[in-house]
Structure formats: structure tokens, C-alpha cells
Amino acid sequence: MELNEYFQSYENYFWEWTTDEDVPDPSGYHEFNLVSIPNVGAIAYRAYVIEVLKELQPYGFPPFGSLLLVLYASQDGYLNLDGISFYLKKIEKNSLFRSTDRVLELLENINRLPRSYKTGQNKINLLQTLFKNSHNQTSSGSADLILKRFAKRPYKIAECAHKISLRSMLFPVDDIGSLMNVYEKFPTTESIIHAMKGITEVPDLEDEVVEEEITVDTDKDFIQELIEEPKTFQIGSLIKRIWSGLKIPMRHLSPGEQPIGGISDMSNKGDFNRMLLSEFANEDEVFMNRVANNEALYIQREIPPEENVFERIILIDTSLKNWGTPKILAFASAIAVIRHPKAHSECKVLTLGQTGLEISLNKVEHVIGNLNQVSPVLEVSQALEKFFEEDHKEKDLEVFFITHQDNVADQKLQKVIHSNRDRLKFLVTTSADGELNFYKHHKGTRKHIQKIMLPLQELWANPPEGKRNGGNSSSSNRKKAAVPLNYPILFPTPANKIATFLYEGEFFILSNKKQLLRTYLSDNYYNREHYNNHKIQHGCEVVIEGISAKPKGQFALARNKKQEFILCQYQPDKKLISKLNLNTKEYTELNLTGKNIPNGHRLIYFGKYFYLFHEESEMIPCINIEGTISLEYVLNDQLIYKSHGKVESEIKKLYNSGIKIFNNFSKIGINSDEELVISKYAMTTHGDNLYAFAKNFTDIEVMASQNKNVFSFEDGSEIITDSRGMLTFKSSNKNIPVFYMPSTDYGYLALGTENDFGGSEYYLPKENRLKIKEMEEMYSQYMEAFIKHVLEYGT
């Protein structure tokens, strides 16, 4: 497909090319720089659309109209979907389609996604999820060719902006048909969320890890992580070079209350042991006279300089002029200041666009997400002025402002900088050719401190292999295989847990992998006494992952009116109580200093509220579930005590429910007994329909080669490991469907596919449509067939 063909606009169609004269385009060609819907609103600037297409290029381009509709639906704020409906109904009237309602429903589902799923890198993940393997895709090679031709001849958009008659129904068929296909795959908002989580890599954390500890050497590791990650390689490779030339003081020293050394350090008052030896050379009468009249000289104790405690705030310009290389330099400069080996001060980072937004740059994923922040404004004078108008009560505040060198010439921005030069300590300017300039404001004047010229071509000459688009299969294999949120069978319940909850009859677990898990016990309606004494525990399913919570203190779980999970945490040692919305990631906290809450109070949930409960207290603190966290005192109730006792009794039924999970897979192969071997264990039979892992004592005949979490055999069959406790088997024999098996060396195992299940009931989901089979039949039909196909390869 040609460039003109892909970007071509049509008469009486739902989108068109327009020009925003106030916004320059990075390509240098400023005409037709905006895509909009007539009488409805703007969709996106051309530069942003091109950046999105660059991210989609390895997967191929969806039809341009399909992409524009999804981009419009994923915007924040008010959307005129009625206006979209008008155009879709017109297309429906003049074409074979009679189901554009599905497309509208898809757009509404996308619009209802939580904001975190539609911003930054997650927005790219959303587009990749929706359009992956969809109908009417442009191939990756054609997509690459379109981008290269646009980079050389951006003015070609003018030809595309000239609308032509839509004689053929081909393009509406492509645009609408593609979205109808997407709707069939993702009919609900929840299905989109589950699919997005399914393509997210699960961090390889050990179950035995109880706390996240910070070590002194994490800065070096963090910089190396940035360099090794393709999306942050350019930033990471600049930081040490910036360190080598950075002349900004990393700590400020203030003299003590008393001078140090010299004549100025002498006094006429002090202890005898500090008196100058020359005073004792005087005659007794003169000596006593000098002491009595406070004329004797004493030397004061030397007081070392005191280190100033100050806080740095770094402001990063995210306006249009600071796109591309200047933005990379800006983030690299910010991280270089924050992570400098001699820096010990606290530091906050804010991005300035239409408003100021506080961000974190402590993790690689934070850097990736925030690097994608784009503001449509030309300059950030309003956001900068608003920041200085706010009341900052910090002891000592040191403000950095990082922007493009061309922005400093803007009159509005110049005025704001000049008006606040006493509060803006450092000004840093970037440029596209790698030049960094540092300025310092001192006593109302701006002084140029230094210029750092970064050799970008040299530093960026050897990116990680995953950086290269359209690389060979070996580079693509370096990526870790994605694992889904859940499988047709349950995960083994981890042995180490942060907390266990019972909420409205359901058991939940907060695991050390920062996941919220749901588990249950089998019901036994025929012999209740037997059930109470011999309960049948089950595995678990993942409800939410990526929970940001320190494994300290006490926890309670509930749901708000929107059915979103709310995790409450009480840390008695810090006098701190907090709430975290696990769905939206919204966090609020409240300091309890001065509330006089005695030791022994426990955080519990009862009747739509959290409580700091103690059975002997007349009044107990009550914490709300809805809205911002607040605390008030209420009368203690005997019902709370009874309910809490029942909850604790039920939770005890989960005692010892966790089992050891394989996390580190050193080797996978097949031994001479034709058994699957994982690390030191072989999957063996233990009688009729019983299979488990036991110590392997036979030689391994066929060994799989490892690439991240994928173990591949020579015939092309693969085993994908999931550190949460699951193995996925993909045979190169297409007659053997994909099947799953838990990875634990404790208890009897199970095998499952999308349709069949056999083995331990522990792994059987509570609600399922699986066909139950004998474990021996499942083993013969799937595992044994998988192993035989691997062994027969090449014979």
C-alpha cells in the first residue's frame, strides 16, 4: 500500500485533514497537521498519529479510519459519540453493513476503560491488543515503507488532504469491518482489560521474598536496566556521560553557629581546659585579674559544618517543541540529577504541559510510561506560573526547569522565568543535536554554568537487539513470552502470603507477588462434620496484579459502590493508615499522630466500613470506604466482635493451604523413562490416575534450550513457564492442542485444556465448563503424545 492510499481522505466521510496554524509540526511541514471529525472535534495531531504508527509498525497498520476511531474513543473528557454515530449510520445506509451499532458499542467500551489503560505506554498496549491479527491489516513491511516515505516527503499529506469521491465501498468496508472484527474478539470492557493484562509480562519474583529492600548499589543496577531495555536505552546511555561533566552542587554545607579555627575562633568566656596556654605564662596577680575581668582568652570547640536539608523539584517541559531527542535529553538530565552518586536530597519530578503532573522515575516501567507524555501546547508558561503561585512550605526548595533552548526565547515563558528567578535555582536547556546548557540564578542574575555536548551517534551506536524493528527471529526470540492473567485451571496457592481476607463469603489472598488472588473450599452438604474436619482446599485465580503495597502492618479488603476493590493498610509503627483502590490505583493516606490509638487495635472490615477494632474499647476509629480517606470515632458494637470472630474462624480453614511452587527453572527435558523432567524432578505415576513430581534418578535424553521463559525442543515444541506456578505446553504437532499443568513439587498434579480437565480437584475452577476425564486418559492423550512427538523427531 502506498502512502497516498493509506492517508487518503474522502468526500462525505467521517474524518478529514485540517490545519492548526498555531502548532508547528516536527517534520517541518506544518500544513494539514491535524486529523479531525467534521462538526464533531479533533482526533489527534499528525505528529502524534505518526508516533503511534511507529509503535504499531512491527504488527502492521490497521485501516486508518479504524485507528482514528479508536484514538478518538480513548481520549479523556467529553466525547461526541452521537456525532460519530451520525457518520456511521450514513455509511451503514450506503453500504452492505447493517451492524454499525457493534462498532459504536466497541467505542463506548473503550471510552469506559479506566484512565490508566488509555494513557502513556498503556495506550500503545491498548492499540496493539485491539488490532493484533485483526482483519485488513497492512503488512509490517508495507507499514515500514509508508513511514519511511512520509519521513522523506511529509508534504505528500497535502495530496491526501484533497478529498476524492468515495465511489467504491472498499474503504468503509475496511474501516468498519476491522472494528466489527475487534468487537467480536472484545465484546466488553472487561474483556479488553483481561486481554491487555494478558500481554503484560509477569515479574520473576521469588515466593520467599517478603519485603522489598533497597540497597546502596541499586542506582548502578537501575542505570544498567535502563540501558538494557530497548525503550529506555537512549536515556540510560546518556546518564553516566552527563555525570562526568555535571558541575551542579549535590549537597549544600552551611557553617555551624560558631566559627572554625583562627583568631575568630577565640573568646573571652569558656572552661579552663580551653584557655590558651599563653595565659598561664602571666604572673599570678595578672592572671587572676584577666580571668576576673573576662579578659583571658579561650579557644572554642570546633563545630563541623552542617549539611543543609533541602528538597529538589525538577520540572520537565512536555510541550510540542520538546518532543523527540530534546525530551530524551530532558529525562536523562533529570535522572542524572536524581541518581547522582553524591545526591542525598529528596527530589520530586513534575511534567509541565497544560497542567503540572507529579511523576515517578524510580523504575524502568515508570520511565517508559512517563516518556510518552505529550502535551499539545506550544509553551508551558501557564503551568510554570501556576507552580510558582502554589504555596511551597519546604525548608529549602531548589527548583530545576528543563526545556528546549528555543522555548527560552518565548516572551511569555521569559516573563515567568524572570518573575520567579529568585525561586528558580537552575535552568537547563536541551537541543536536538545533543547540547545541554546549565544556567544558575543567583541574586537576580542568570549565570551560565556549563555546556555539555553529548555525542549522540557514538552513545546510541549499539542499541539492544530488541530495539531494531523488523529484526530476524533470533532478536524477536529474546523477548519474554507473554503469559495470560489466568488459565483454564487454577494456580497453586502460594505458601507465603501478605494477608488473607474473607469478603462476602469469598476468600481472597494478597500474595508476595503483589497480586490479589481468589480461592475457595469445596462444599460438602452431606456430611458437615466431615467437611469441617477434612476440608478440601483449592488453588486460586488472579483477580488483580501489580499491587503497590509494602508487606508491613495490617490489611483489610472491601469493595466500594462501583464494585472496585479497596485495600486498607494500617501501620501502627508509622501511625499511618492508607487506602488503595486496586482497580484505579488511586491512593490516599492519613497520619494518625495525635489520635491516641492504643496498641492492640486491629484493622478489620464490617458493614461497609473499616475499623481499628478492640473488644474492650468503648469508642473505636471508623474509616470510610468511599472517597478520600477519613477517620471518625463510633460506639463499639457487640455485632462487630461476633462478626470478627466468625471471619477469623473461617480464615483459619485456609491454614496451610499454600504449597511450594517452582520458580527457578534450571533445566527442562525428557529422561530415558520418557518422563518430563523439570530441574531435579520427574513427573511420575503414583498409582491409578495419580501423577506427581518426584526426584529424578535417570539420565536426561532430550534437553530443551532455554530463552527467557520459553524452553524449546528441536522439533519446535515449546514449554512456557510461569513463575506463578503454571506450565504451558505447545506441541509442534497441531493435532495436540495446547494444554496446561501446575508446576509444584507438592501433591498430585492435574492437566487441563480449554475443554478438558483431569487430575487433582485442587486445580479445578469453581465455575467451569470443562469435561472431566480420568487423569490417565489426560496424560496419555496430551502429555504422553507431547513427549513421544519430541522423541520421534529426527528418527
**Can you give the CATH number for the domain in which 346 is found?**
3.40.50
Query: Is residue 473 in a domain?
Result: no
Work out the pLDDT band at 763, boundaries 50, 70, 90: very high
pLDDT at 779: 96
Cα separation of 271 and 61, whole Å? 84
Burial, 488: exposed, middle or buried (Cβ in 10 Å; 0-12, 13-18, 19+)?
A: buried
601 and 585 housed in the same domain: yes
Residue 150 has pLDDT above 80, yes or no: yes
Average pLDDT, the chain: 82
596 and 693 housed in the same domain: no
- What number is the average pLDDT over the span 454-462? 82
Query: Is residue 478 in a domain?
Result: no
Residue 534 has pLDDT above 50, yes or no: no
623 and 733 housed in the same domain: no
Task: List, as own/partner pairs, every contact residues 303-306 make where C-beta atoms lie below 8 angstroms and the sequence separation is at least 24, other chains included.
Answer: 303/256, 303/257, 303/258, 303/260, 304/256, 304/260, 305/253, 305/254, 305/255, 305/256, 306/253, 306/254, 306/255, 306/256
Query: Is residue 476 in a domain?
Result: no
- What number is the average pLDDT over the span 541-558? 92
Among 434, 459, 484, the domain boundary falls at 459
- Percent residues over pLDDT 90 in the chain: 26
Cα separation of 675 and 670, whole Å? 5
DSSP letter assigned to residue 664: -
- In the chain, the amino acid numbered 313 is I
pLDDT at 203: 33
Query: Is residue 118 in a domain?
Result: yes
Instruction: Report the phi/psi class of residue 39: left, alpha or beta, with left for phi > 0 and alpha for psi in -120 to 50.
Output: left
13 and 109 housed in the same domain: yes
672 and 781 housed in the same domain: yes
- What number is the average pLDDT over the span 750-759? 95
pLDDT at 535: 56
pLDDT at 188: 87
The C-alpha torsion from 612 through 614 and 620 to 624, rounded to 10°, is 30
pLDDT digits (tens, 9 = 90+) for 302-333: 444 444 456 788 899 888 777 888 889 999 98
380 and 275 housed in the same domain: no
Range of lowest pLDDT (63-72, 262-271, 324-333, 405-414): 262-271
| Spatial contact of 582 and 544, defined as CB atoms under 8 Å apart | yes
Residues linked to residue 555 through DSSP beta bridges, in sequence order? 569
pLDDT at 488: 96
How far, CA to CA in Å, does 468 sit from each of 233, 383, 463, 465?
Answer: 12, 37, 8, 6
Burial, 65: exposed, middle or buried (Cβ in 10 Å; 0-12, 13-18, 19+)?
A: buried
pLDDT digits (tens, 9 = 90+) for 697-744: 999 999 999 888 999 998 999 999 998 999 999 999 999 999 999 999
Say how many domains are in the chain: 5
Cα separation of 480 and 204, whole Å? 11
What is the DSSP secondary-structure string of 635-654? E--HHHHHHHHHHHHHHGGG
For 174-199, b/e burial (b = at least 16 CB within 10 A) is bbbbbbbbbbeebeebeebbebbbee
Burial, 145: exposed, middle or buried (Cβ in 10 Å; 0-12, 13-18, 19+)?
A: middle
pLDDT at 222: 81
733 and 606 housed in the same domain: no
Strand, helix or coil for residue 148: helix
Work out the pLDDT band at 217, boundaries 50, 70, 90: very low
pLDDT digits (tens, 9 = 90+) for 223-261: 888 888 888 888 888 888 888 777 776 555 444 444 445
- Domain span holding position 440: 218-251+308-459
732 and 704 housed in the same domain: yes
pLDDT digits (tens, 9 = 90+) for 580-621: 999 998 999 999 988 888 888 999 999 899 999 998 889 999
Cα separation of 34 and 335, whole Å? 33
Among 407, 433, 459, the domain boundary falls at 459
634 and 697 housed in the same domain: no
Cα separation of 280 and 223, whole Å? 62
pLDDT at 561: 93
721 and 788 housed in the same domain: yes
pLDDT digits (tens, 9 = 90+) for 11-55: 888 889 998 887 778 788 888 888 988 877 788 888 889 988 988
325 and 414 housed in the same domain: yes
Query: Is residue 207 in a domain?
Result: no
Q: Comparing C-alpha atoms, which of 191, 197, 185, 14 is closest to residue 102?
A: 185
| Spatial contact of 682 and 676, defined as CB atoms under 8 Å apart | yes
Cell of 755: 475443554
pLDDT digits (tens, 9 = 90+) for 321-378: 778 888 899 999 889 888 887 666 678 888 888 888 888 888 888 888 788 777 778 8
172 and 151 housed in the same domain: yes
| Spatial contact of 358 and 364, defined as CB atoms under 8 Å apart | no
- What number is the average pLDDT over the span 281-294? 88
Query: Is residue 722 in a domain?
Result: yes
- What number is the average pLDDT over the span 625-650? 91
Query: Is residue 474 in a domain?
Result: no
Query: Is residue 13 in a domain?
Result: yes
